[in-house]
Structure 1
Amino acid sequence: METKVNQNGQAAVNSIKADKTPKFVAGNPVNKEAKKAEAKNEAEPSKSEEGKPHAAPEGSKAELKEQLAQQKPVLNLDETLKLVAELSKRTALRDRYKGYIDALTGFEQEQKDNVDELEDETAFQMCELVITDNKGNRFSTKSPSVIKGTVTFISGRFGERLGEVEAGIVLPA
C-alpha cells in the first residue's frame, strides 16, 4: 500500500491490494503463478552466476577415481632397473634383426649387380644354400629359384619379427 501526500496536506491512499495468498510453502510453489515464476527463474540463471565457475558435481569424483586408476604408479628403483634391462634386451634383439635384414639386402643387391637386370631369375646362379644342424646333418641346394624364394621369405620374416620387437619397446607414461 502506498501513501502519498497531496499539496493541501491531505494524504491520498492508493488502494492496491496485496497478494496475501501463499506462493511458497517450505520452498515449494503452491499456486500456478508461483510455479511459472519459479520455472522462469530456473530457466534463466542470474548474470552473477554465469561468470562464476560452477561447483564440481558429485559425478566428477567418480571420474577422478577412474583417471587415478588409469594412471600407472611411479616405479620404484628395482622395477625401473628391471624395465631398463628388459628394454635393453629388446633393443639388442632389434639391432640383431636390423643387422640380418641389412646383410641379406646387401647380399641380394650384390647378386643382382653381378647379373644383368633382364636376367633376374639367374641372379643367384652362382650361390649355394646350406642348412646345417647341431648333429651335423646338412641340406644344400644350388637352385637359383629356391635360393631366391628362400631369401624373399627370410627377408619378410625378419621384417615381421622386427616390427613385433619394435612394438614391444615402449616406455611407460
Structure 2
Amino acid sequence: MHGPASPGWLLVALCAATGAYCVLRMRSGVEEQRRAAGGDALMGFGMAAMAVPAAVFTPPSWTWPLYAAVFGAAALRAVWAVRRSPHHLHHLVGTLAMVYMAVVMAVSPGSGHHAHGGGAGVPLVTGVLLLYFTGYVLLTGVRLVPDAVADGAAGLGWGDRPELARACRLSMGIGMVAMLLTL
C-alpha cells in the first residue's frame, strides 16, 4: 500500500500479530472457532504482506494477481461457509475487499497513487468498503467491552474467549480501513 513508512510498519506489525494470535486460536477444541480463526489468520497475514510500505519494498508485478487468486479462493470458501453461519458473511466481505485491493494494485500504473483515474474522487467500491469496515469497527468496538461472566467465558481457555476473537477482528477491521484509505 502507499503512504508514509512509519504508519505502514505499524499496520504490518498489527496485522502480523493478529495473524499470529489467530494461528494460536486455531488450536481451539471447537471446530467452528478453528475455521473462523484460520480465515482470520489468512486475513491478518495477507494484510500484513500488503501493508509493507512501497518505499521500502515494491513487490514484483506477479504478486498482486497471486494475492487476488489466494483471496478469491478464500472468498469462494467463505461463500460456502455463509450457508452454515451468517457470521462468515464478514469473512466474505473481507476476502472480497482483499481481492479488490489486489486488483487495484495490479492495474495501477507505477506507484499506484492514481489507480482510480487520477483525482476523480473516491471510487464507489472503495467508498462502500470504507463505510462497511468503519461501521464494523464501530459496532465491534462497542461490543468488545467484555463481561466474561455474562459471556460464560470464565471456564474457557484464552484461545476460545469471544472477546479476544472480537479484538482480533476489530484490529483487522481498523487495518482494513487504513489500507482502503491509502489505496
TM-score normalized by structure 1?
A: 0.27
Structure having greater relative contact order (Cα 8 Å, sep ≥ 6): 2
More helix, by proportion: 2
Report the structure number with the largest CA radius of gyration. Answer: 1
